[in-house]
Amino acid sequence: MNWKTAAVTAGGMLVLAGCGTDNTEENEAGGSNAGENTGGNNSSDDVFEVAVIPSQSVGEMQDGLTALEEHLAAEMDQEVEVEHYPSYNAVVEAINYGHVDLAYFGPTTYLIAHETSGAEAVITQNVNGEPYYYSYMITQPDAPWDDLDSLIDDAENIDFAFGSQSSTSGFVIPGYELKQQGVYENEGEYEFNSVRFTGSHDITATVVAEGDVDAGAIDSAIFTQLIDEGMINEDDYKIIWESDQLYQYPWAVPEGTSDEEKDAVREAFLSIEDEEILSIFGGADSFVEASHDEYESIMDAARSFDLLDPESLED
């Protein structure tokens, strides 16, 4: 196969490298390595700190995150800070180095954190009564491609968009499918006319609708949420591919978190009924308990892009 080599956007180049400089400084200062975080965390004893991946732009999530912060503070009877992080990698490093007490991940970033530092899933969300979602590939309604086969047949003429390179539904699962189909190998080798990484699902939806790209990969729950909230128009899209079901995004605690602390987190989330909070997590209708076992199914896809290699955090 004659692979095309092309540049991608700056955001797409940052697979898992967002905080490399900070990591080096921390290790030189005597901090533990990511894979060696063996007890609790280093966040403030007075503040329960929560990190959230940028599955959507910060403006789309801020009101709900503020409400979540207030709910957790009331339920756990302590000060809570919930922060929307600038990259998926930054959240992985925050939990790996004990900077936070709880982190909201995509399934792939959770697996990275679990493999490198022992992070443990404790809670996730139900959407339409089920803790599952899908990866979609979407295009414009008048596009000539009605399924993945026709898209692949025309790959050389297509500008394609993924989300973040650490996103399960925005890259790992659809990228794995395209890799198996022989049209995508990595960020510099593919059969498409061009490939870009938008960094978040709402931006992917926007660039597809506006015709900046011909097709893109997106989280099904966030896609539906954006439609329901009037952020995008359903008539501007058609779905040409759907993955097998994926277990919803997990909330995870650092290795060494006590059973009492885990139970407190679970109880606080299970009591959430505020629509302002639920809506920003894929249009969830409730939270449910989760465990590591639910995320084993995406291991092969993540490994195919070397995402579970601890050294990838420092590349």
What is the predicted pLDDT for the residue at 15? 34
- The whole-number pLDDT of residue 57 equals 72
pTM of the model: 0.73
pLDDT of residue 1: 38
- Please report, in tens digits, the pLDDT of each residue of the chain (315 residues total): 333 333 333 333 333 333 333 332 333 223 333 444 434 455 556 899 999 988 777 677 889 999 999 999 999 999 999 999 988 889 999 999 999 999 999 899 999 999 999 999 999 999 999 999 999 999 999 999 999 999 999 999 999 999 988 889 999 999 999 999 999 999 999 999 999 999 999 999 999 999 999 999 999 989 998 999 899 999 999 999 999 999 999 999 999 999 999 999 999 999 999 999 999 998 899 999 999 999 988 999 999 999 886 455 433
**CA-to-CA dists, residue 129 to 81, 121, 248, 288, angstroms:** 29, 19, 12, 10
pLDDT in tens, 286-297: 999 999 999 988
pLDDT of residue 54: 82
pLDDT tens-digit readout, 128-187 = 999 999 999 999 999 999 999 999 999 999 999 999 888 899 999 999 999 999 999 999
State the Cα–Cα distance between residues 155 and 173, nearest whole angstrom.
18
Asked whether 164 and 211 are in contact (CB, 8 A), the reply is no
pLDDT of residue 87: 87
Domains of the chain by range and CATH?
13-26+40-129+248-314 (3.40.190.10), 131-246 (3.40.190.10)
- Residue pair 15/315 in contact by the 8 Å Cβ criterion: yes
pLDDT score recorded for residue 2:
35
**Residue 309 pLDDT:** 64
